[in-house]
Amino acid sequence: MEKNIVLLPGDGIGPEVVGQAVRVLEAAASAAGASLNFTERLLGGCSIDRFGTAMTDETLADCQKADAVLLGAVGGPKWDDPQAKVRPEQGLLGLRKGLSVFANLRPVRVHPALVSASPLKPERLAGVDLIVVRELTGGLYFGQPKGRQMVDGHEQAVDTLVYTDEEIRRVVRLAFRFAQQRRKKVTSVDKANVLESSRLWRKVAVEVAAEFPDVALEHMLVDTASMRLVSSPAAIDVLVTENMFGDILTDEASVLAGSMGMLPSASLGEGGAGLYEPIHGSAPDIAGKGIANPLGTILSTALLLRYSLNLPEAAARIEAAVDRVISDGLRTVDLGGSLSSKQMTDEVLARLN
Ligand code: NAD
């Protein structure tokens, strides 16, 4: 089996973590009999410096043709001017749109050995193993009309929260499919007591649930969900929600795991290339030092193997190897240790088989 992967290392620590993660991805794929062709392209600040745009049309076309895309991170102080017309994150948003990835998936597990790195009490973290599925291409961030106008002498701003039943159905269905492979429970988060879009969301969620009789559906208001995520996170299996609620809840959920450097993400559509990236940014404060935690990107390659290359055993082997390095007490600087990115990756590779 031959597959094409586009690498978008990006800025800051992006190239450092992607460079290391590719070593693990290659090893796991080749052990599973798959051969991977890698194409590297610029995205973000580095693309602005070279081409004057955060993503060229050629880069997007290469990503659209690929089986999967692995991204590091984009941005940094050099391109941070808020007045600038061309900004690194335009590359990221353009890429998500261009790949039609409508669901962002963030698994959060708390390794028992890392409980002390989390701000939450240990007893609340036992057994936490959840996935947040966030709708990524609709809702308030994209709805029209949006803008400013003068009304009766006052400046007024408008954003529009709009969803179609189809946009809701495809992402809720995806959440149910994930739940089928897991603990068979979907928590659908909305604000149905106030918002019309949420009432449609809830109606569609009920319809989708009828297609999955083996999966339990619970509805939860977003304000309650924000409390439950920190008061009883172990009770959540798959949480699915609209774009803005998901934006906020995914960051809240990431705190459970203690370090930003540990968490992977996947953005998926219907068929087409999936987009895989760690949840952290370009970490300019530690860029170039070779000390970034590569585990979030390494775990993202496990998601890539599972969801884009259909190699679940290879994915599970990477996840087990990462579990073992943590159990064995190996730590990068962000987790209070002293291993470099490369040394940590060497340890993962040593435990892959
Ligand atoms: P950040 O995630 O880059 O860094 C936050 C803190 O976490 C820093 O102290 C950093 O050193 C640490 N950190 C992050 N990843 C780490 C890792 N793998 N190993 C060890 N420590 C790690 O967030 P920020 O500082 O708010 O943003 C920095 C830049 O990254 C900004 O330009 C921002 O726009 C960009 N950013 C990009 C993305 C993305 O590409 N998806 C996401 C968030 C932020």
Q: What is the pLDDT of residues 212-256, one digit of tens each?
A: 999 999 999 999 999 999 999 999 999 999 999 999 999 899 889
Per-residue pLDDT tens digits for 277-301: 999 999 999 999 999 999 999 999 9
Reported confidence tier of residue 259, pLDDT bands at 50, 70, 90: confident
pLDDT at 76: 97
User: 270 pLDDT exceeds 90?
Assistant: no
Probe ligand 1: pick from 260, 291, 344, max atoms within 8 Å of CB?
260
Active site residue 223: yes
Probe ligand 1: pick from 280, 298, 332, 335, max atoms within 8 Å of CB?
280
Alpha helices in 195-333 (DSSP H): 196-211, 222-231, 243-256, 295-307, 312-327
Q: Picking from 85-89, 117-121, 180-184, 189-193, which range would have the lowest pLDDT averaged per residue?
A: 117-121
Among residues of the chain, what percentage have pLDDT more than 70? 100
Q: What is the 3-class SS of 177-235, one letter each residue?
A: HHHHCCCCEEEEEECCCCCHHHHHHHHHHHHHHHHCCCCEEEEEEHHHHHHHHHHCHHH
Active site residue 97: no
User: 93 pLDDT exceeds 90?
Assistant: no
Give me ligand 1 centre to Cα 180, in Å.
33
User: 140 pLDDT exceeds 90?
Assistant: yes
Give me ligand 1 centre to Cα 250, in Å.
15
CA distance 110 to 256: 7
* Whether the Cβ atoms of residue 129 and residue 179 lie closer than 8 Å to each other: no
pLDDT at 17: 98
pLDDT at 112: 87
Active site residue 285: no
Q: Which two tokens stand for residue 330?
A: 């190996």
Q: Ligand 1: which residues within 6 Å by Cβ?
A: 13, 17, 73-76, 92, 260-261, 280-286, 292-293, 296, 334
Reported confidence tier of residue 343, pLDDT bands at 50, 70, 90: very high
Reported confidence tier of residue 260, pLDDT bands at 50, 70, 90: confident
What distance lies between CA 11 and its chain's CA centroid? 18
Q: What is the pTM of this model?
A: 0.92
Active site residue 307: no
pLDDT at 125: 93
Probe ligand 1: pick from 263, 282, 345, max atoms within 8 Å of CB?
282
Active site residue 141: yes
pLDDT at 142: 87
